[in-house]
Structure 1
Amino acid sequence: MKASVELRDKREALLRQRLKDTPMRPLALFQLTGWNHFVDEEVKPPARTGSSPGPDRRKDEQSIAYHRHLRMVPTDAMFHMQEMVVEAVHRNSGRRDGLMDHVIDGPAGTGKTCLLRAVGRTTQQEIEARTGGRRQNTIPVVHITTPTDPEQKVNWVWEIASYLGLHPEPKSLAEVLEMRRHQDLTLPVNYVLETAQTCLMLIDDINRASPQQLADVLPYFDYLRDKLGISLIFCGTGASHLLHQARSLAGDLTRVSEENKARLEQAGHPAAVSASPSPTALLPVTWLHPLPLHAEDQETFRQVLMGFETDLSLYRLEEHALSKHAVELHRRTGGYFKALAYVISTAAVIAIRSGSENITMKEIDAATTQLSV
C-alpha cells in the first residue's frame, strides 16, 4: 500500500512539473515540425552572472526574450485536466470503443489555449517516455485550429492534412484561389493517422464554427474516435454548449429522446419518469474562470503570482514583489490569466531595459498602460 501511494505521488509530481515547464511561447504549432519543437523545448531562466547587472544587461536579448514568454504557472484546474486526459489516452491505448471527448470551456482570456497545448505536450511526452523515445513515422498528437471557413468537412480535413504535411503550402495567390477547389484528402489523412498511431487530437477555437457547421463534421470526428481510437479535445469559449447543440442537430437527439421516453411510458417502464441524459450532457468539461481573489478564496491568485515570482530572473527582485500587490493586480487584470501574464512579462522587460531589475508599482503602471493602448 505504501509503495502504491509513493508511486502515485511521484507520478503526480512528474505531471505537475511537466505542466509547469510548458512554455507560453507562440510558435507555428499547427505543423508537425513546429509542434515537435514545442514538445521538446526547455525554457530555463537565463543565468545571472555576479550580484549586479553588467553594462550590456539592458540589451540582453536572451533575458528579454525569456521574460516576454514565460512558462506556464499551473492552477489545480489545469493540473486535473492534464491528469485526466493523460490517463484517458493511456487507458484507451489499443481500444476502439468507449472513448469520450473532452472539452475546455470558459471566458476568453482565461488560458484555455495554453492549457490545451500543455495537455497535448504532456501527453506526447508520456507516450514517448513509455515507448522509449520518439519513433520514426509516429505522430502521437495532432493540433489543429477550426478552419477559417468551417462550413464543409473537407476544410477540416485540410487542416489535419496541413499539420501532417500531406500537401505543400501555397506559393502564390493563384495557388491560394485554386485551393478552393482542392481534392478531398480524407483517405490519405485517415491512413496516416492510423499508421502513425495518433492517440490525441487537439481542436482549438471551436467557437468559430456554428452549431450546424460543427454538426456536419461531427460524424467524421466520431469516426476518428470510434474507429481509430483517437481521443478528442475541443477548446473554445462556449465549447460545451456548442457541442451539445451540434450533437442535437447531427443526430436529432431531442427527437430520439422524446420518442424513447414515449415508448417507455407506453410500456409502463419506471425509467420514463426521468429522461436519460444526452451523450453531450456527460461530456467531461474543464471550466477555466478568471482567477479568484475574494473572501472565500484568498490563495489561488496569490499562488499564481508566487509561481511567476519563482520564474522571474531579475537581479534586484524583492521578496513577494508581485504577491504583495495582489489586490491591485487583480483589479487591473480581472484575474484573467492572459492579461495577468502579459502585465507581468511586460513589467519584467521594462525592469530590464530601465535598469531597475525589480517589479514595483512603477513597472506595473507602465505595463498596464501598454495593456490598455
Structure 2
Amino acid sequence: MMDNLDTARRAVAADSTRQFLHYEPELLTERDGFNAFVRRERKKPDLADCAPLGTKVTDTDPRMIYHGEMIPVMTPDVEQGIKDARRTLRTNRFRPLGKRMSVIIEGCAGKSMLLLQIGRAYQGILETERKPDTVWTPVVHINVPPRCESNLDWSLPFADFFRMDHTLNIEKRNYRSTDMTEPVVHHMKESGTSLILIDGVDRIHDGELGTAFDYFDSLQARLRVSIIYCGRSASDIVNEGLHQRRGSGRPHTSEQFRSSLPVMTIKPIPFREGLEEDWRSVL
C-alpha cells in the first residue's frame, strides 16, 4: 500500500515538474504580463505537488519558484508610499477639470518594487468596481528605452505594451518602425487607461528631456491620465524636464521652477540609536 502511495506521489511530482519546466516570469511591460502580475495570488505550494523526499530538486520545483519570487517586504517607506499614492490617485480619478497630478518615486533600491505595487493596488481597486475584460487596461507600465529622441521612439514602448505591430511593409522586409502615437492614444482611450507607470527616467539623456516631457504632457492632456515617474534622482530629472518644456531662459536651479509634485523617497532602513524599531518591524 505504501509503495503504491509513494509511486503515485512520484508520478504527481513528475507531472508537476514537467508543468514548471517551461515556466517564465511574465513580462511586466506587456499588458498580458502586467495583468497576470496584478491578479496572481502568491500561495505556498502544496507539498503533495512537489518532489518527494529523496528526489532531486530542480530550479523549476514549485517551492524554488515560490521562494525565488522574493515577495515584497512592506518597509515603512514602501507602506507610506502606497498610502500616499492611493490618496493622490483617488483625488485624480474624481477631479472634474485640469490635468491629473503626477507622482515621483526616487531613492535607493526598492523604487521599482514600490512603482509596481502602486500599479497593482490601483488596478486591484478598480477591478473590484467592474469586471475585467480583454479590452479594459487601466494601468500601462513601460521602461524608458536607451534612446528616445523623437515621438516615434517614445511611442514604441507604449505600442509594445499593447503588443501592437509598429513595423512597415513586413512583406517587403522593411522592418523600420513608424510613429505609433495616434494608434496608442486611441488604444488607451478605448481601453480606459487612467494610470501610466514610467520606470527608469534616469535613462533619459539631457538632450532628450524637452521632447520626453512634451510627450508626457501631451498624453496627459489628451487622455487625462496620472503618471508616476520612477528612477534615480527622479525629482531633479522631472524638474529639469518640466523647465525645458516651458522653454524659459531663466536658471532652472531657481526654486520657483521646482515642481510641486509629490515625491516618494525610498531610504535605507535605519539601524542606529533611537530608530531600532523600524529595523525590528521589517525583520
Segments of 4+ moved more than 6 angstroms: none
Distance 2:105 2:248 in 1: 23
Distance 2:137 2:90 in 1: 15
Code of the aligned partner of 2:178: Q
Are the counterparts in 1 of residues 209 and 244 from structure 2 also a CA contact under 8 Å? no
By how many angstroms is 1:254 displaced? Answer: 5.7
Aligned alpha-carbon RMSD (Å)? 2.8
SS at match of 1:113: helix
Partner of 1:215: 210
Code of the aligned partner of 2:195: L
SS at match of 1:154: helix
By how many angstroms is 1:148 displaced? Answer: 2.2
Q: Does 1:286 align with 2:264?
A: yes
Partner of 1:242: 237
1:299-338 equivalences in 2 (<5 Å) = 299-305=277-283
Are the counterparts in 1 of residues 142 and 158 from structure 2 also a CA contact under 8 Å? yes
Are the counterparts in 1 of residues 138 and 191 from structure 2 also a CA contact under 8 Å? yes
Q: Does 1:105 align with 2:106?
A: yes
Distance 1:255 1:136 in 2: 48
Q: Does 1:199 align with 2:200?
A: no
Distance 2:25 2:150 in 1: 28
Gap change, CA 1:96 and 1:224, over 3 Å in 2: farther
In terms of mean alpha carbon deviation, does 228-237 or 57-66 score higher? 57-66
Partner of 2:144: 146
* Unaligned 5+ runs, structure 1: 1-24, 259-274, 306-373
Q: Which protein has the bigger helix share?
A: 1
Count of aligned residue pairs for this structure pair: 253
* Unaligned 5+ runs, structure 2: 1-23
In the superposition, the TM-score normalised over structure 1's length comes to 0.61
Candidates 152, 155, 160, aligned match of 1:162: 160
By how many angstroms is 1:155 displaced? Answer: 0.9
Code of the aligned partner of 1:41: R
By how many angstroms is 1:101 displaced? Answer: 1.1
SS at match of 1:135: coil
SS at match of 1:286: strand
Deviations 1:103-155 (A, max 9, x none): 11013xx1111111111111111111122x21342110000010122222211
Distance 1:186 1:158 in 2: 8
Candidates 252, 256, 280, aligned match of 1:277: 256
1:32-181 equivalences in 2 (<5 Å) = 32-47=31-46, 54-56=53-55, 58=57, 61-93=61-93, 95-107=96-108, 110-131=109-130, 133-167=131-165, 178-179=174-175, 181=176
Code of the aligned partner of 1:142: V
Are the counterparts in 2 of residues 143 and 163 from structure 1 also a CA contact under 8 Å? yes
In the superposition, the TM-score normalised over structure 2's length comes to 0.80
SS at match of 1:212: helix
Q: Percent identity?
A: 27
Are the counterparts in 2 of residues 96 and 225 from structure 1 also a CA contact under 8 Å? no
By how many angstroms is 1:230 displaced? Answer: 0.5
Partner of 1:29: 28
Are the counterparts in 2 of residues 96 and 226 from structure 1 also a CA contact under 8 Å? no
